[in-house]
Chain A
Amino acid sequence: MVRTDLFFFRSTGMASPLVSIENVDMRYGGPDGTLAVSGLNLRINRGEFVAVVGPSGCGKSTLMKLTTGLHIPQTGAVIVANSQVTKPVSIVGMAFQNPTMLPWRTTLENILLPLEIVEKHWHRLRSHKAEYVAKAEKLLETVGLKGFGDKFPWQLSGGMQQRANLCRALIHEPELLMLDEPFGALDAFTREELWCVIRDLHASQDVTIVLVTHDLRESVFLADKVVVMSARPGRVIAEHEVPFARPRQLELLYEPAFNEMVQRLHGEIATARAAA
């Protein structure tokens, strides 16, 4: 059932990608400012899980801001869901390394926050409160935080806050989930646990995920496609399909083929760094 769904989404996605970045230049701070990305081309299909890796300062975060419409490029076009991005697109959910939970709200209220913003939800939030709360609680259960909704974020550990952060990014059923190094600040075991959480979320929901990361093992373990970017000004220098069958287990991390791929990516990024 799940497989056919996924297959259906992928096959329709082939026709028109969810995100299409075409020859984009983005310069910060006026005409003499830093050129963050240059000649950037990228296509992300519906339902796909794409990981973006590269040397530091390669414009990965710029890529996120371009895709979500927080920045509008000076040249080139960003097309999301068949329309050119000219203002923030509300079909995305975002999660950063810093969970940024609001400390005066309980975890549940934090998760419901996007619904108070996105237009199609806040109109019915008051009258359908119970329905939304149930949905939030279901999400909490999915990420292993059942019963923690009434705790304040500062009563949770870093890993738990990051799980709640994921719930917040997903509550409004975004078509596109943008993750900017969400697990960077976590210990190795918690990180692997959350990899599995993300993997299962992606398998069970029709969501397209873009993961910006420094961790090459993370990118290979989770993604369908790994995109390698060059040093500043950033552009895509290679795209690799990840051949490992889903569902992937953590044992995969210790297989030679997996490590070979990680090593190859590592080599590419080292070259890109040296070229800069």
Chain B
Amino acid sequence: MTTIETPAPVAAAPRPAFKLNWVRLAPVLYTVGLFVIWEIGVRISGLPHTILPTPTRVFEAILQYWSPIWKNSVQTLYTTVLGFIIAVVAGLGIGLFIGWSKTIYAGLYPIMVGFNAIPKVALVPILVIWFGIGTVPAVLTAFLISFFPIVVNVATGLATIEPETEDVLRALGAKKMDIMLKVGIPRSMPYFFGSLKVAITLAFVGSVVSETVASNSGLGNMMASAQSNFNVPLVFAGLLMLAIEGIAMYALMAWVEKRMTGWAHRSTMAN
């Protein structure tokens, strides 16, 4: 019996080692594919660099202007992350406050929706009047644009506690505070961490918009001045850096989400 069983896995084992895992490779292949199609398309159509540069030209520009690109990328990352951190703290606080009672929820919700409907770019001039140009309005724009999804998600998590759970606890003499601490807040955590992925992406939008119109530094400012010099490859280099920063931060948030609320992804964890 055993002599028959042992050779079978040995013979079968080497085969998967040579087999490519297409699902894992797919992101890389598709990205490379996108650049290749882009490159070929531009070369065939013969578009000038000032309209649409080829990826090779964009990478060239990244190397050529590495020092300002690096400096401005760090600046943008800094304003974005700072605005995002303020949004997380404020969003969590306001979300808990709104989700606390139905009256507060009903009263503040329309105000929040109205506030969210205002294009944040329209607020930048006001922020400039208050704080001058530079880092502060960029941080604040990133904060203003990204805190809304956090608030809504936390409040929703609190507002959707199962009535049975609440009954069981209230019958035992639980106060509102007990129910919030034991059930509401842990329950809203998956919503909260899920919203971080949306919020970080929006934070980049906010900081770059503000840098473009009212700053002397950051990728937004760099791209704006490159554009006025018809240095289109540098504009695209800035866009590429933003995409890279965005993907990195999104991946970080997704990782945090998975670490903190593994129980909410139970379908993947259950054996």
Contact = CB atoms under 8 A, between A and B. Distances in A.
Contacts of B170: 70, 88
A180 B165 CA distance: 13
Contact of A94 (B168, B173, B189, B266): B168
A118 B167 contact: no
A117 B182 contact: yes
Interface in A69-101: 69-70, 87-90, 92, 94-96, 98, 100
A154 interface: yes
B221 to A, nearest CB: 44
**Chain B contact surface mostly:** helix
Given A100-B164, A152-B263, A88 B171 contact: yes
A85 B168 CA distance: 17
B86 interface: no
B186 A69 contact: no
A112 to B, nearest CB: 11
Contacts of B167: 65, 68, 70, 94, 96
B183 A96 contact: no
A98 B166 CA distance: 12
Contacts of A70: 167, 170-171
Contact of A92 (B162, B171, B266): B171
Interface string B13-56: 00000000000000000000000000000000000000000000
Nearest to B175: A117
Contacts of A104: 186-187, 189, 261, 263-264
Interface residues of B, number: 22
B60 interface: no
B74 interface: no
A117 B183 contact: no
Interface in B98-149: none
B266 A103 contact: yes
Contact of B173 (A65, A96, A100, A117): A117
B37 to A, nearest CB: 44
Contacts of A68: 167, 171
B162 A98 contact: yes
Given A102-B186, A113-B182, A118 B172 contact: yes
A100 B172 contact: no
B165 A102 contact: yes
B270 A154 contact: yes
B243 interface: no
Closest 8 CB pairs of A and B: A90-B173, A68-B171, A96-B164, A100-B165, A117-B172, A117-B174, A104-B263, A154-B266
Interface of B: 162, 164-165, 167-174, 178, 182-183, 186-187, 189, 261, 263-264, 266, 270
Given A87-B173, A102-B165, 10 more contacts: A88-B172, A100-B164, A103-B263, A114-B168, A114-B169, A117-B172, A117-B173, A117-B178, A118-B172, A152-B266
